[in-house]
Amino acid sequence: MARNRNIKLLLNYVVGPLLFLAIAFSIYRQLSRQPNLQQHWDSLWQSAMQEGLAFLVPAILLIALNWGLEALKWRQLVNHLMPITWFRALLSVLAGVSFTMITPNRMGEFLGRVLYMPDGSRIKAATLTALSSLSQLIITLTAGIMGVAYLALLPNVPNEQWPALLTNVLLYGTATVLALGLLVYFNLGRTIRIVEKWPPVNRYAIFIHALGEISHLELLKILALAAARYGVFLLQYWLVFRALQLDLTLPQMLAGTSTMFLIIAIVPTISLAELGIRSQISLFVFSLFTANQLGILLVSALVWLLNIILPAFAGSLILLSVKLFNRQSLESSS
């Protein structure tokens, strides 16, 4: 019907620009509300111009590798529904990042990614997004356990600064979640069969059948890509720490960053509020190694800017060209 066609045209040519404006404005408000923002950026600029530029440039260039690996991971998964180029997968991933800015714990990522899928495949693609997130979570939990274990072995750490109860909760709680995650991840076919037997949701089982077609070897490849991407995160943090001349050893940086990522994954938040939460967690963890609180905050802010804000801006621009409905769908409604 003509009315449906008009609605779809409205969604195609109005929703994208509105999303761009909303996300851009939200990012601006988040940045403008940061305390002592000008002081932070002045200090960052001074450090970068003096001795840190040689470390900051590679950290910036790693943005492309970071999201390129994620696009490769996404393409590997989507190929179970249809062939897709790496570049289209990258556009899909960046569009998804823009949606994470306004949803809890980046749960809205699938909304942006599925826009690059045909109308009839979007729900199935959403389940693949969940699997992609699970693979990254498994790596985060694994590295986080090792980071917490390292912190627990540090000598002469006051209990009030790093409570033993926190260590136990993080270690045993994370190990339990990790075991469950691995059980589900490597038993997708069995999980689907269980879902199919559950009357309230068995009608939706058809949408997750694509997960059951993924072999263990492919699942291992997805985990390897997730691990490589995690390695890029760690390398970026090391480069920024060096750029700002914070005196941490490599084991301290690796353990602190892995523990920080673990806590961030646990704490409910939205990306627009993540900088403040990430900063507090960074101070809590890295104050075990250095008293330079401003440096810790700058590292947290810069890596957040590189890995979240810049890709989110790119994704919001990409949304301007996204068509929520294809030509065939529009014509069928007229």
Task: Give the pLDDT confidence score for residue 6 in this predicted structure.
Answer: 47
Alpha helical stretches, state H, the chain: 2-10, 16-32, 37-47, 53-78, 86-100, 109-114, 122-152, 164-185, 188-196, 209-212, 216-243, 250-266, 271-286, 293-304, 310-319, 327-332
Cα-only R_g, the chain: 21
Q: Is the model's pLDDT at 327 over the cut of 60?
A: no
pLDDT averaged over the chain?
A: 77
Tokens of 184: 């589900």
DSSP 48: I
- Residue 152 banded pLDDT, cuts 50, 70, 90: confident
Position 202, amino acid: N
Report the alpha-carbon distance of residue 328 to residue 323 in Å, rounded: 12
Q: Is the model's pLDDT at 238 over the cut of 90?
A: yes
Higher pLDDT, 311 or 11: 311
- Tell me the pLDDT tens digit for each residue of 269-297: 665 556 677 778 888 899 888 877 777 87
Tokens of 201: 């949701």
Residues 6+ apart with CB under 8 A from 229: 66, 69, 70, 73, 136, 139
Under 8 Å between Cβ of 272 and 27: yes
- Tell me the pLDDT tens digit for each residue of 178-213: 999 999 898 877 777 676 666 666 666 666 666 767
Higher pLDDT, 210 or 223: 223
Q: Is the model's pLDDT at 235 over the cut of 90?
A: yes
Q: Which residue has the tokens 């600029």?
A: 45
Task: Give the pLDDT confidence score for residue 331 in this predicted structure.
Answer: 39
- Residue 308 banded pLDDT, cuts 50, 70, 90: confident
Lowest mean pLDDT, pick from 101-105, 123-127, 209-213, 264-268: 101-105
CA 76, 111, 314, 132 dihedral sign is: negative
Task: Give the pLDDT confidence score for residue 244 in this predicted structure.
Answer: 81
